[in-house]
Structure 1
Amino acid sequence: MTRPPVDGLLLDIGGVLYQGAEALPGAPEAMQRLRASGLALRFATNTSRTTRAALAEKLGRLGFDVAAEEIFTAPLAAVQTIRERGLRPLLLVHPDLGPDLTGFPDGPPDAVLIGDAGEHFDYRGLNRAFRLLMEGAPLLALARNRYFREQDGLSLDVGPFVAALEYASGVAAEVYGKPAPGFFREAAEALGVAPERLLMVGDDVESDVIGALDAGLQAALVRTGKFSPEDETTLADRAPVLEDFPALVDWLLGAGGENG
């Protein structure tokens, strides 16, 4: 495989750097090599069960030196737009995400913001959201991923709940996380790297890889996390597939440790 000419990387987190409560083998050491290369680096995640600060703290415990400001999240992308539009969203999100969702006007909700609430999803909340949508409220989704992998197996992500509300109300969701093109463009702008010189690395063939390619970025898929063999057929040679994050770093930097 030819190494791509890149000036920066966007790294997915869950399924690439860690899974559950454990770092993936060799990932912290590979991160140190990547840091030493001088390439621009940001972390891009659709995770919406926790704040950027808590995510950075978890990464630190697992051996990754990451600042909260380096993490670009779907909630971060959504909040700015919601504030600009003056919307008052009903929050169907995980309670731990609360500190990252502030600064909205007071008053009755006139929009629905949905993220991965996990076990906090319930009929009452979903039905309240449905009624708002039927009254004309917009549906704002932090992501529409179908599932993710935890240590004990696959788990539903927010996508199935977004699809249910879309089906019931006839309202199409505005998606702020991956694979929305705007998510990748904003991340590239924040890094100061042209999209065509930016490499997205992830374990989700749809949201991470195909989404990045469609937004004009380069992309690579790793065979960890939620990866399945069928993903390579879906990708159809549009992007390289590496065994894991350390293998990606080896491929990108080469034996000499420099991008070529």
Structure 2
Amino acid sequence: MISGVLLDLAGVIYDGKAAVPGATGAVARLREAGLPVRFISNTTRSPKQAVLDQLDKLGLPVTDGELFTPAHAACEWLRQHHRSPHLLVHPDLVRDFHDLADSEGLAVIVGDAGEAFDYPALNNAFRALIAGAEFVALAPNRTFKDADGKLSLDAGPFVTALEFASQRDAIVLGKPAPAFFLSALASMNCPPSQAVMIGDDAETDVAGALAAGLGQALLVRTGKYRPGDEDRFKPPPTATVDDIAAAIDWIVATRRSEATQPLL
């Protein structure tokens, strides 16, 4: 039984500043069907409010509680572990960390810093790590689809470089960390086995969701998807579909089939 849906954003709901064709209507169909929805994004360049504003401009109003971001998870982690952040993130994301109380302990927080990934910034983060700071990665994504339509380096390669240099393993808070998926599901009281994830990243969205115990995960051929992605990572997608509209068709058809199956 499908009782809840998790949706990635970039590459699934929108591509750059434009909505993926059919995306807003597809989300409306989910809501009309009475299926709770949560939006879980690994974006680490835009603050949470900017993402909410972008969705609203696309005609898709989303509440604060329906959107889960790695920066929000990091702030919760910092409070729970009494750490102050040493930020290696995009300048636009800094505002999401502004209300944290100072703590004696330190944690290096790495996101997609973009042009801020220069040698001094990386070296300062490295020095903080070897001095004993905790190591937190907002997301380990290898690439993202850039404004020019081509793939660009995401935070993952820089996290790996710091892991290699410091001989430390980062704590990952965004996808594919199981806790990130499970916290979104818990907010709508949906058991993992009854959830579906829809994403364009076969590794972090799809394989990550299935490894976290979600019942099904769909890979869309939009956004960063490249031919053959469905065969590159394990577990493989439950299904690979053209776009979010086709993914919702799949969910609706699956629920209809489940409803007509005889009880044993």
Q: Secondary structure at the match of 2:187?
A: helix
2:168 pairs with one of 156, 160, 171 = 171
1:21 deviates by 1.3
Q: Structure 1 pair 235/137, CA: closer, same or farther in 2 (3 Å)?
A: closer
Question: Which amino acid letter does the alignment assign opposite residue 252 of structure 2?
Answer: L
**Residue type of the alignment partner of 1:176:** L
Could you tell me which of 215, 218, 221 is aligned with 2:219?
Answer: 221
CA distance in 1, matches of 2:254, 2:177: 35
Q: Which residue of 2 aligns with 1:16?
A: 12
Output the CA distance in 2 between the equivalents of 1:90 and 1:161. Answer: 15
> How many residue pairs were aligned?
256
1:194 pairs with 185, 191, 196, which one? 191
After TM superposition, which residue ranges in structure 1, 4 or more long, deviate above 6 angstroms?
255-259
Question: How many Å apart are 1:120 and its aligned residue?
Answer: 2.0
Q: Deviations over 1:60-87 (max 9, x none)?
A: 1122222232101111112111111111
Aligned to 1:28: 24
Q: 2:257, 2:34 → 1: CA distance?
A: 9
Higher relative contact order (CA 8 A, sep 6+): 1
Give unmatched runs, 5+ long, in structure 1.
Answer: none
- For 1:190 and 1:130, the matched residues in 2 are separated by 36
Query: Does the C-alpha gap of structure 1 residues 94 and 108 become closer, same or farther in structure 2, counting only changes over 3 Å?
Result: farther
Structure 1 Cα separation of the partners of residues 152 and 5 of structure 2 = 27
**How is 1:115-154 mapped onto 2 (pairs within 5 angstroms)?**
115-152=111-148, 153-154=150-151
Is 1:248 equivalent to 2:242 in the alignment?
no
Counterpart residue number, 2:49: 53
- Checking the alignment, whether the CA contact within 8 Å between 1:46 and 1:73 is kept in structure 2 is yes
Q: Which residue of 2 aligns with 1:206?
A: 203
Separation of aligned partners in 2, 1:122 and 1:204: 26
Cα distance between partner residues in 2 of 1:40 and 1:247? 18
Unaligned runs of 5+ in 2: 260-264
Moved more, 106-115 or 75-84: 106-115
The amino acid of 2:94's aligned partner reads G
Normalising by structure 1, we get a TM-score of 0.92
Judge conservation of contact 2:230–2:237 (CA < 8 Å) in 1.
no
What CA distance in whole angstroms lies between the structure 2 residues aligned with 1:110 and 1:139?
9
CA gap of 1:146–1:255, structure 2 versus 1, over 3 A, is: closer
Q: Is the 8 A contact 1:11 1:202 kept in 2?
A: yes
| Gap change, CA 1:169 and 1:255, over 3 Å in 2 | closer
Task: Give secondary structure in 2 for the equivalent of 1:199.
Answer: strand
Percentage of matched positions with identical amino acids: 47
